[in-house]
């Protein structure tokens, strides 16, 4: 996925036992992610920072507040440099989380709050919410289908978040999970690899094999040496994008540097000297060209 699509702002509330006790998550890194909404229509991430930074007299908090403008972590989660800390975003005496995940969410999960309603643009806030949950699942290696419960799922007798905020934007929890999955799926696509080597021309591979490798293989007799030349021929063909039976391969394979050194020192370099001493610069240039082709096939510069 695009891990830098949005910025995660980290500005932490003061440590206080009823909001930010400063205790590390029992699991070290977060084990799951609870999807909440603030239940407070129109209140921004910034407003919740101020609220929890000053809250006294009752235990409550969550890690991350997301509105249409920012993703704000007010308690360390482990997505940044600071290790994840506990927050008070569920009730300890409701045991659904313990049964499903083996831990209470306060001790092991990140509480993620969607800000909604009032002047908050649902679409913009929802996109950030989806991305942040996808970021967390990617960072901590969690399947979003299993590790993003809503608060309502953990405490159905008492809670209706984050389903109520999603509903305000015409979404369901199922939509949310599906959107997180597709946000992550973009990342799962392989990064295109730009080859750092050139495809060896089939004519070059064929000439080297026919002129040098095959005769050496035929003369080798003993098994290990014969195997070695057989492998060398296979590697030269692979570098040209063909297999032993001269079928096309999907992509040429980079040649080993040791193969280049061997072909150059065993055959091409001596042949070059012979040609030069015989006063045949055209032949000498030919051997030089062959050597540079196999160097390029191994990603090495010309000599
Ligand atoms: Zn909640």
**Residue 3 counted as domain residue:** no
Mean pLDDT of the chain: 92
pLDDT tier, 135 (very low <50, low <70, confident <90, very high otherwise): very high
> Residue 44's domain is classified under what CATH number?
3.40.80.10
- Shared domain for 101 and 162, answered yes or no, is yes
Residue 173 alpha carbon to ligand 1 centre in Å: 14
Mean pLDDT of 173-190: 81
- Protein residues near ligand 1, an ion, with CB under 5 A: 36, 151, 161
- Shared domain for 106 and 217, answered yes or no, is no
| Residue-level pLDDT at 187 | 43
The enclosing H or E element of 166 equals helix 163-168
Residue 112 alpha carbon to ligand 1 centre in Å: 8
- Shared domain for 148 and 293, answered yes or no, is no
**Residue 24 counted as domain residue:** yes
**Kind of pairing, strands 71-73 and 64-66?**
antiparallel
Residue 35 alpha carbon to ligand 1 centre in Å: 7
**Residue 2 counted as domain residue:** no
Q: What angle do CA 48, 49, 54 make, to 5 degrees?
A: 95
- Shared domain for 122 and 210, answered yes or no, is no
Q: What is the DSSP string of 211-228?
A: IIIHHHHHHH-SHHHHHH
**Residue 78 counted as domain residue:** yes
Gap between the Cα atoms of 57 and 299, Å rounded:
67
Mean pLDDT of 120-145: 94
Number of domains, the chain: 2
Gap between the Cα atoms of 281 and 8, Å rounded:
65
- Shared domain for 118 and 225, answered yes or no, is no
Q: Is the pLDDT of residue 188 over 90?
A: no
**Residue 197 counted as domain residue:** no
| Residue-level pLDDT at 132 | 97
| Residue-level pLDDT at 296 | 93
Q: Which residues contact 146 (CB under 8 A, 6 or more apart)?
A: none
Residue 66 alpha carbon to ligand 1 centre in Å: 13
**Residue 195 counted as domain residue:** no
Question: For residue 8, what are its two tokens?
Answer: 């995660």
Q: Which residues contact 24 (CB under 8 A, 6 or more apart)?
A: 83, 84, 85, 86
Residue 45 alpha carbon to ligand 1 centre in Å: 15
Residue 41 alpha carbon to ligand 1 centre in Å: 13
- End residue of a domain, out of 188, 222, 239: 188
Residue 151 alpha carbon to ligand 1 centre in Å: 5
- Shared domain for 99 and 70, answered yes or no, is yes
- Shared domain for 167 and 31, answered yes or no, is yes
Residue 33 alpha carbon to ligand 1 centre in Å: 12
- End residue of a domain, out of 142, 163, 188: 188
Q: What is the DSSP string of 5-72?
A: SS-EEE-PPPPBTTTB--PBPTTSS-SEEEEEE-S-TT--HHHHHHHHHH--SS----SEEE-SS-EE
| Residue-level pLDDT at 218 | 92
**Residue 303 counted as domain residue:** no
Residue 150 alpha carbon to ligand 1 centre in Å: 8
| Residue-level pLDDT at 196 | 85
- End residue of a domain, out of 157, 188, 219: 188
Residue 44 alpha carbon to ligand 1 centre in Å: 16
Mean pLDDT of 52-80: 96
- Shared domain for 60 and 152, answered yes or no, is yes
Residue ranges making up the domain that contains 249: 202-297
| Residue-level pLDDT at 194 | 64
pLDDT tier, 93 (very low <50, low <70, confident <90, very high otherwise): very high
Residue 26 alpha carbon to ligand 1 centre in Å: 20
Gap between the Cα atoms of 168 and 65, Å rounded:
18
Gap between the Cα atoms of 251 and 42, Å rounded:
55
Residue 106 alpha carbon to ligand 1 centre in Å: 12
- Shared domain for 213 and 246, answered yes or no, is yes
Residue 86 alpha carbon to ligand 1 centre in Å: 15
In percent, the amount of the chain with pLDDT more than 90 equals: 82
Gap between the Cα atoms of 24 and 82, Å rounded:
10
Look up the pTM and report it: 0.63
- Shared domain for 209 and 167, answered yes or no, is no
**Residue 53 counted as domain residue:** yes
pLDDT tens-digit series, residues 3-42: 889 999 999 999 999 999 999 999 999 999 999 999 999 9
Residue 5 alpha carbon to ligand 1 centre in Å: 26
Q: What is the DSSP string of 112-160?
A: EEE--STT--HHHHHHHHHHHHHHHHHHTT--HHHH--BHHHHSTTT--
- Shared domain for 183 and 228, answered yes or no, is no
Residue 113 alpha carbon to ligand 1 centre in Å: 7
Phi, psi torsion values for 226, nearest 5 degrees: -60, -40
- Shared domain for 106 and 171, answered yes or no, is yes
Q: What angle do CA 270, 275, 278 make, to 5 degrees?
A: 125
pLDDT tens-digit series, residues 239-293: 988 876 666 666 789 999 999 999 999 999 999 999 999 999 999 999 999 999 9
**Kind of pairing, strands 8-10 and 71-73?**
parallel
């Amino acid at each position: 996925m695009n891990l830098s699509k949005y910025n995660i702002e980290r500005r932490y509330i003061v440590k206080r036992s009823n909001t930010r006790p400063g205790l590390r998550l029992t699991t070290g890194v977060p084990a799951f992610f609870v999807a909440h909404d603030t239940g407070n229509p129109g209140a921004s991430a910034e407003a919740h920072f101020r609220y929890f930074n000053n809250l006294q007299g009752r235990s409550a908090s969550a890690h991350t507040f997301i509105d249409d403008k920012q993703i704000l972590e007010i308690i360390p989660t482990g997505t940044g440099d600071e290790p994840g800390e506990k927050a008070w975003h569920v009730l300890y005496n409701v045991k659904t989380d313990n049964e499903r995940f083996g831990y209470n969410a306060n001790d092991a999960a990140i509480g993620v709050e969607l800000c909604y309603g009032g002047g908050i643009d649902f679409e913009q806030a929802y996109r950030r919410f989806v991305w942040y949950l996808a970021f967390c699942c990617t960072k901590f290696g969690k399947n979003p289908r299993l590790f993003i419960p809503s608060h309502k799922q953990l405490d159905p007798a008492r809670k209706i978040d984050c389903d109520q905020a999603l509903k305000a934007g015409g979404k369901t929890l199922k939509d949310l999970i599906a959107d997180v999955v597709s946000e992550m799926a973009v990342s799962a696509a392989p990064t295109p690899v730009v080859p750092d080597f050139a495809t060896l021309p089939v004519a070059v591979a064929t000439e080297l094999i026919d002129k040098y490798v095959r005769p050496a293989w035929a003369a080798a007799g003993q098994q290990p040496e014969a195997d070695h030349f057989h492998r060398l021929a296979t590697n030269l063909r692979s570098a040209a994008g063909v297999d032993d039976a001269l079928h096309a391969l999907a992509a040429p394979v980079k040649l080993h540097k040791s193969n280049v050194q061997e072909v150059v020192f065993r055959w091409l370099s001596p042949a070059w000297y012979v040609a030069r001493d015989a006063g045949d610069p055209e032949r000498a240039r030919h051997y030089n060209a062959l050597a540079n082709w196999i160097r390029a096939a191994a990603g090495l510069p010309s000599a």
